[in-house]
């Protein structure tokens, strides 16, 4: 359970808290508040087992010397895995940006949260201004608050940040960072247009503003630009800011730092993330990361992930497409359930992919009150107010449809729908 949600439960009256804990103890708690999907398929469990057996078989095959070298160079991460990532990026992006799709542009870290934590504590000081989307990732906002950032929202629409507003906030607040999730934005699900992305790069270039592009919660790595995305978002709009900076003549936007991961979408039991950027950024981050030496467990996890990706029986593309199709089935089912009477008065747009749905509740219905009601039935979600740094201006909720299969989706959505009906009925009396 997420830390903020544990705090909500802790503040409930004792008898209500006991009810929630009963659901948790019995394994019946259904959380749409999760920050990631469940992997979409159980096959990754079998794959992990096969990879572990393969790793054991490699012991004693003359690899000890190479492993010793890797342990010395471990600060940047397991070289074979960084090479796999670099090669796959080059294939996915058509080989653009030659020289910047090599392992030296990658830094491996424990997980997606640690990647953002490392970036925030390295690139900003307490009190510095950081610009974010409206609404913004609740996970990132919590970290920014922890590190003392002054967070300023930039107005957005379905195509991305409004450029006039971005220029205004840069002029007024003199930010040190811009944090964005342009592909299936967290939590709104928006996919930014190519025009907005290019214009944002130009604006940030002129103002020497560093961009952190977070692609850990929404897009499955390496497949979206290869023609398997939903039709609504196919084409050039799937290009990342980092990819666009490489393709642009003159190297516009060299200040972009990308964050990627498998854990949020495909391999939830193998937490690991990577930071992608120019060498000067990687070395700056490396200096900070060396202050907290990585564990042998983390090194073994990197080797395990690399072994899995290189299994003769495994195809990353086939696995990723399978997961994406499963998430699409879940998204369509959730939208179908929301068309039923208990959800009358709510509004939602189909993002065409990703992990989340951003749902607007009927007028006057408080998301926090709705959450307290559904918690007593063993169901949770993210109230929209947690996606704003200041005074929330939202009656929305975030639902992580990718976290559950059909049966639990139906069960959890029924609980929320019934609670909405009860609240709206009381309001009508």
Percentage of the chain modeled with pLDDT above 70: 86
Is it the case that residue 282 has pLDDT exceeding 90? no
Tell me which fold the domain 3-42+317-428 belongs to. Answer: 3.90.1150
In the chain, where the domains are located = 3-42+317-428, 63-309
Taken in order 215, 218, 220, 223, the sign of the CA dihedral is negative
Helix (H) or strand (E) holding 259: strand 256-261
With a cut of 80, say whether residue 24 has pLDDT above it: yes
pLDDT tens by residue, 189-225: 999 999 999 999 999 999 999 999 999 987 888 875 4
Q: What is the pLDDT at residue 356?
A: 96
Q: How confident is the model at residue 99 (pLDDT cuts 50, 70, 90)?
A: low
Q: What is the pLDDT of residue 295?
A: 74
**Is 63-309 the same fold as 3-42+317-428?**
no
Q: What angle do CA 249, 254, 255 make, to 5 degrees?
A: 150
Least confident of 62-71, 292-301, 328-337: 62-71
d(CA 33, CA 391): 21
User: 56-65, 242-251, 398-407: lowest mean pLDDT where?
Assistant: 56-65
**pTM of this structure:** 0.90
228 CB burial (10 A radius; 0-12, 13-18, 19+): middle
Q: What is the mean pLDDT of residues 247-268?
A: 81
Q: Which residues pair with 213 in a beta bridge?
A: 180, 258
Mean pLDDT, the chain, integer: 87
Q: How far is it, in rounded angstroms, from Cα 49 to Cα 61?
A: 20
List the one residue out of 213, 209, 210, 208 whose CA is nearest residue 197: 213
Please tell me the predicted confidence (pLDDT) of residue 68: 46
Helices (H), 26-162: 43-58, 64-72, 79-92, 112-123, 138-146
Mean pLDDT of 389-401: 86
Q: Which stretches within 240-347 are classed as H helix?
A: 241-247, 279-289, 296-309, 316-337
The CATH number of 63-309 is which of 3.40.190.100, 1.10.10.10, 3.40.640.10, 3.10.20.740? 3.40.640.10
Q: What are phi and psi of 144, to 5 degrees?
A: -60, -40
In this structure, what is the dihedral angle of CA atoms 84, 85, 88, 93, given to the nearest 10 degrees?
A: -150
284: left (phi over 0), alpha (psi -120 to 50) or beta: alpha
């Amino acid at each position: 359970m997420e830390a903020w949600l544990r705090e909500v439960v802790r503040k409930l009256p004792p008898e209500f808290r006991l009810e929630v804990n009963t659901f948790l103890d019995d394994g019946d708690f259904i959380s749409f508040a999760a920050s990631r999907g469940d992997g979409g398929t159980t096959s990754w469990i079998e794959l992990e087992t096969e990879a572990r057996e393969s790793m054991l078989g490699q012991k004693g095959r003359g690899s000890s010397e190479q492993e010793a070298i890797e342990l010395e160079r471990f600060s940047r991460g397991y070289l074979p895995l960084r090479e796999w990532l670099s090669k796959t990026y080059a294939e996915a992006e058509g080989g653009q940006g030659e020289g910047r799709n090599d392992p030296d542009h990658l830094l491996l870290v424990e997980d997606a949260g640690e990647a953002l934590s490392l970036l925030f504590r390295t690139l900003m000081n307490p009190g510095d201004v950081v610009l974010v989307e409206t609404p913004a990732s609740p996970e990132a906002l919590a970290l920014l608050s922890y590190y003392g950032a002054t967070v300023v929202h930039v107005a957005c629409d379905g195509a991305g940040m409004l450029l006039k507003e971005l220029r205004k906030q840069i002029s007024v607040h003199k930010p040190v960072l811009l944090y964005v999730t342009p592909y299936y934005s967290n939590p709104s699900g928006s996919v930014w247009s190519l025009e907005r992305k290019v214009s944002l790069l130009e604006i940030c270039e002129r103002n020497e503003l560093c961009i952190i592009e977070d692609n850990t919660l929404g897009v499955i790595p390496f497949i979206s630009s290869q023609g398997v995305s939903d039709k609504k978002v196919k084409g050039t709009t799937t290009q990342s800011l980092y990819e666009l900076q490489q393709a642009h003549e003159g190297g516009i936007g060299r200040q972009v730092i990308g964050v990627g991961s498998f854990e949020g979408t495909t391999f939830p039991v193998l937490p690991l993330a990577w930071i992608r950027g120019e060498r000067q950024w990687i070395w700056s981050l490396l200096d900070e990361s060396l202050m907290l030496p990585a564990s042998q467990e983390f090194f073994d996890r990197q080797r395990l992930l690399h072994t899995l990706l290189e299994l003769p029986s495994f195809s990353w593309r086939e696995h990723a497409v399978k997961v994406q199709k499963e998430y699409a089935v879940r998204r369509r089912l959730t939208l179908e359930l929301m068309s039923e009477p208990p959800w009358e008065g709510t509004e939602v747009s189909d993002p065409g992919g990703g992990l989340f749905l951003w749902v607007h509740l009927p007028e006057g219905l408080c998301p926090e009150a709705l959450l307290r009601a559904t918690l007593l039935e063993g169901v949770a979600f993210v109230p929209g107010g947690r996606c704003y740094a200041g005074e929330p201006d939202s009656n929305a909720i975030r639902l992580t449809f990718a976290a559950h299969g059909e049966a639990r989706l139906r069960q959890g959505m029924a609980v929320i729908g019934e609670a909405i009906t009860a609240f709206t009925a009381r309001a009508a009396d």
